[in-house]
Amino acid sequence: MDTHQTSPTNGAAPARPLNRQDYKTLSLAALGGALEFYDFIIFVFFAVVIGNLFFPPDMPDWLRQFQTFGIFAAGYLARPLGGIIMAHFGDLFGRKRMFTLSIILMALPTLAMGLLPTYAAIGIGAPLALLALRILQGAAIGGEVPGAWVFVSEHVPDRHTGYACGTLTAGLTAGILLGSLIATAINTSFTQSQIADWAWRIPFIVGGVFGLVAMYLRRWLHETPVFAEMQARKALAEELPLKTVLKAHKRAVVVSMLLTWLLSAAIVVIILMTPAYLQKQFGVDPATSLKANSLATIALTIGCIVAGRVIDRIGSGATFIGGSALLGVSSYVFYQTMTTDPSQLYLLYTVAGFFVGIVGAVPYVMVRAFPAPVRFTGLSFSYNVSYAIFGGLTPMVVTLWMKADPLAPAHYVASLCTLGLVLGFYLLLNQRGAAKLAFATR
């Protein structure tokens, strides 16, 4: 897999600087993605409350938390099907059309979650209904995230692919920030009794409204120049796009899946699971843990844009070598220090959050790994299947691991950062091989 031979723009004016239309496209895509991603992740910020409300009160606490994260994981397990279907039509009929479908599939289930009766009202029907809605959310986000990366990368010049992908990823992480801020506001404005009674519903109802706003924003986006050019030249995929991907691009799929595993470990463990982890493991009150999480997510949003800028300049190999090492060290120091000096929470969580920003460089590699006719399908299949396996199972694996090892989150992330280092060296060697080939053929 040569990440420099398959450019998102297929040779369209690589020297052109970003123009006003590019910035408008990036802004609207990132903002819409933020609102939709908020809908997908708001669940995790109220995992403790949801577990208490949607499962039997006499259930052991660890089992209740395990099953709650299991429902959260179901959203990830549903991503491949939704992503592959939407990517199939995105490669054949256009990138933009799938955006509207993904928003509808996200907004309606989120609104319904905010209106669900609890276990006390309907018994086992409550967690089953919650599970069904979570699956619909997963199908929606499965098409949204890879589709958005492809969309922005095909709008900008080749040399700004990293910045475009990093900015879009920053928009998605801003959705996490929005969720953290709203969760913080709920926990500081209401008592825990009020939250359990009714206030937990507010973020989900608000999320449904966000979906309508995101749908409106998408009206101002245009189809990508790359797809429009392929359509005009009748150069769309001649056979089933997924068949082509699995037959001709196996190495690109493997690398993309492993990078997604790194991305999922960083986001799910450090950003999404840690507020609940701080509350359970160290007795940090919900408001404090969520404030710290907000700072870490702000730093993550900035880190994604920085990672995109860096990978445009120094390439994917060096970026992942340095980024994985810094993420591994900063996250381990954060978790280790919390066991002895919780007063460092805000500073160390913010630093770790910034280096989670290496995830902003992941889509750069993936969009350049597949040719334009099957790019959406290749990226969507690799990303969603990997996230379904690793991102979906990570909360349960780490939760079970913590029964034997309180520092399980630190050890899990460190393991994946080691994988990131290995992938970085592989990409570096691949870049050098491509450069030598280009020099020899001049």
The whole-number pLDDT of residue 69 equals: 83
Share of the chain above pLDDT 90, in %: 41
Tell me the mean pLDDT in the region 88-95.
Answer: 66
Within 10 angstroms of residue 66's Cβ, the number of other Cβ atoms is 17
Is residue 383 situated within a structural domain? yes
| Inside any domain, residue 92 | yes
10 in a domain, yes or no?
Answer: no
Is 364 contained in some domain?
yes
Distance (Å, whole) CA 201 – CA 115: 7
Tell me whether residue 322 is in a domain: yes
In this prediction, residue 235 carries a pLDDT of 47
> Within 13 A of 20's CA, how many CA atoms are on the CB side?
0
47-68 pLDDT, tens per residue? Answer: 889 999 999 888 888 888 888 8
Asked if residue 6 belongs to a domain, the reply is no
Report yes or no on 93 lying in a domain: yes
- The CA-based dihedral angle spanning residues 323, 325, 326, 331, taken in that order and rounded to the nearest 10 degrees: 120
Can you say whether residue 98 is alpha, beta or left, with left for phi > 0 and alpha for psi between -120 and 50 degrees? alpha
Residue-averaged pLDDT of the chain: 84
Domain count of the fold of the chain: 1
| pTM for this prediction | 0.81
What are the C-alpha distances in Å from 208 to residues 115, 199, 236? Answer: 11, 16, 35
CATH number for the domain that contains residue 267: 1.20.1250.20
Least confident of 30-39, 79-88, 227-236, 413-422: 227-236
- Confidence at residue 438, expressed as pLDDT on a 0 to 100 scale: 39
Residue 442 falls within a domain, yes or no? no
Residue 6 has pLDDT above 50, yes or no: no
Q: What digits encode the pLDDT tens for the residues 253-288?
A: 999 999 999 999 999 999 988 988 898 888 888 888
Kindly state the percentage of the chain with pLDDT values over 70.
87
Domain coverage including residue 326:
20-431
Q: Taking residues 401-408, what's their average pLDDT?
A: 90
